[in-house]
Amino acid sequence: MLIRTALLLMLALLSLRAAWAAPSPSFSCAKAQSPAERLICADPRLAEADSAMAKAYVAALPTAGPDKDLLTKLQRVWLRQMSPACGLVAQSPLSAEEEHKASECLLDWLNDRTAALSNALARGASAGGGTTRLRRFLLDDAFLAAPDAPLLTEEVLGRETSDLATIWQDMISAVLAPGRDASAGQMRVLNARLNHVMQRKLAAAELENQKAEMARGLGHAPDTASMVPAARLNHSTQNKPAEAEIEDKKAKAAMAAGAWPVDLQADWLKTALPLFGPHSYTLPCVGLERYPDLVDAIDEDGTIKLYSVKASDCREEGYPWPDASFQAFNDAVFAQDGHLFGFCSDSWTSRVMSRPQLVTMAWILPRRLLKQLGRPKLLPLEAWSYDSVYNRRTFKHVAELAERAMADIKQIYMHRFGLSEQEAEDAARAALWVKLQWSGTYSPFPLSVAIMRADAQPDLATLLADDKPRPNTEEPLLSLAVDRPEAVRILLAAKEPVDTTNSFGKTPLMTAAQFDDSDSLALLLKAGAAVNLQTLSPQDIQGNDLDTRRGAACGKYFIKHGGRTALMYAAANASLAVIQQLLAAGADKALRDSTGLLALDYLQGRGPVGANPVLSKTDRATAAQLLRVP
């Protein structure tokens, strides 16, 4: 008996616990009468969804302000619409399949309503204007209620206060919403709102339109920039292109039929947006990814040419980019111009801003970027690297950083956008140029490439055997060759002048001394290079102008120390062996530069650069003894 009593008590407690844990809807199930109410009470999912929707509605009421009555009316209309929309119009029993279908429909209705109410409140809170945001929600809701409550919709039209730009932004957001198509109903709502505002503005601007017509009658074209928005809208609409009329008709027909296909959405964006003036609309990157044709219309200033629309910063939308590796590469590139980009008109490296549409493609459309640009043959700064030995040595580090950044971009393009390994590699190379927003505007001379690279095709000997005129390079060909003694031998054998200078008087021997190229130095000396030539004085160097704007030099050169010799270059930069080579060849240690400095001063860091970084303490002492002038 005791055991039975205990079991009964346990069952009762479990029943109470189950009853307590089961979700309850917003109404009493004991009074449920309609098919929808009975389904909600029978399904815990529906009961929970109904309760959540009711809580969202109650939370919205205090924020509605003067529109509280409107929210209440619309909530009642929505409740009346829910049952017919889910096929619950009769009291007759439902089959199991019909009941399941109706339950899923009710769940969608309840969850969508909860989300809509919650979103209206959340957006209002973030914008600091809950009533205004909620009113926009009510406007949309009222148009959806129009079939069942036409008078209520007319009442709402009288409360429409949104401007055209706001409604257009809503339309853009609806069409470009990530992961779904804009619904025909949603677009009908936005079109109805738009038409109402247009009519109101056109009526209010009648006087301005009359003035514009009078101006036209007097032979003056109306100044659309000075028109009020409605007058400008009227003028634009009267003169809209035929294709816009066609797409407008397609859109209206599709919405009337309850359809809004993706291809029509893209066409609608292209043809409808130009009609509505210079508002600052935002096209999210996810939308541009979805409708890539829109990217082609981005103008030089980052706006959409036809649409007066700005593209979003894709970083803000979570699109990945290898910030660390790319920034390291970017910094290395810009360091080579002394950060003069932007205010030095004759800066010695050429910067060309990438078109914003290409930058957007690098973020979200790598296949389209690759199709448009192809695989660039050179890396950034690579053409520049063939202009001098300094450039070529510097480029080795830049190229290493470029490879790291491209490897990271390649991984993003493969995993985020599904490109093949080769496609991703080629697109990453193109993106490196685009995202850098910098590019050289020239290609290297084949002869310069052949001098500096043993693997160049055609090779140096072949190019020299050709009777074509030599390129007019800034640096002498032998100066370009000092890092490759074999190239020096080939050029000397081809009778290349050994003492040719650049524009400020620097010889190949000076370049070999500066870059500590002992083998090339020996070849040049054997060929008769003059060991005591000096560079030009600063005042004699063409383009050696100092412009102190923003504390930087903007001339082609910024040279304070002229009259330098090969020995001075060696003293500042080279090994003890090279210094001894020059002295043995007759280098004059008593010669002074244009500021009065000796080679010894260059060794000890009193010249244009610091003390010689190559020499050990012992070798520096030996070099000082050798360079000391009695």
Last residue of a domain, one of 436, 470, 497: 436
| Pair of tokens at residue 572 | 């500042």
493 and 418 part of one domain: no
| Pair of tokens at residue 456 | 């160049």
606 and 507 part of one domain: yes
The predicted pLDDT at position 179 comes to: 46
| Pair of tokens at residue 377 | 């043959």
406 and 548 part of one domain: no
Sequence letter at residue 246: I
509 and 596 part of one domain: yes
Domain span at 485: 456-627
The beta-strand segments (E) located in 290-429 are 309-311
Residue 399 lies in a domain: yes
> How many Å separate Cα 451 from the centre of its chain?
38
The predicted pLDDT at position 82 comes to: 86
Mean pLDDT by 10 residues, the chain (630 residues): 51 46 82 88 93 91 80 84 83 83 90 82 46 61 61 62 60 55 54 61 58 53 37 39 49 46 51 48 69 64 45 74 92 68 37 62 91 88 90 93 96 96 96 71 85 94 84 90 97 95 96 97 97 94 62 62 96 97 97 96 94 96 95
610 and 545 part of one domain: yes
Cβ–Cβ under 8 Å, residues 501 and 507: yes
Residue 151 lies in a domain: no
Residue 106 lies in a domain: no
Q: What angle do CA 354, 356, 357 make, to 5 degrees?
A: 110
621 and 480 part of one domain: yes
419 and 505 part of one domain: no
Residue 305 lies in a domain: no
In sequence order, which residues have a C-beta less than 8 Å from that of residue 190 and are 6 or more positions away? 140, 167, 170, 171, 174
Residue 392 lies in a domain: yes
The predicted pLDDT at position 298 comes to: 60
344 and 411 part of one domain: yes
Residue 172 lies in a domain: no
463 and 560 part of one domain: yes
C-alpha–C-alpha distance, residues 329 and 380, integer Å: 10
Number of alpha carbons in the 13 Å side-chain half-sphere of residue 116: 18
- Per the rule left: phi > 0, alpha: psi between -120 and 50, beta: everything else, 586 is left
Residue 578 lies in a domain: yes
| Pair of tokens at residue 97 | 């399949």
465 and 409 part of one domain: no
The predicted pLDDT at position 317 comes to: 76
The predicted pLDDT at position 70 comes to: 79
Last residue of a domain, one of 392, 408, 436: 436
The predicted pLDDT at position 126 comes to: 41
| Pair of tokens at residue 349 | 């490296």
C-alpha–C-alpha distance, residues 500 and 68, integer Å: 89
The predicted pLDDT at position 198 comes to: 60
Among candidate residues 52, 30, 54, 56, the one with its CA nearest the CA of residue 41 = 30
Residue 62 lies in a domain: no
388 and 468 part of one domain: no
**Torsion angles phi and psi, residue 216, rounded to 5:** -65, -40
542 and 498 part of one domain: yes
Last residue of a domain, one of 377, 406, 436: 436
Sequence letter at residue 237: T
CATH of the domain at 518: 1.25.40.20
Q: How many domains does the chain have?
A: 2
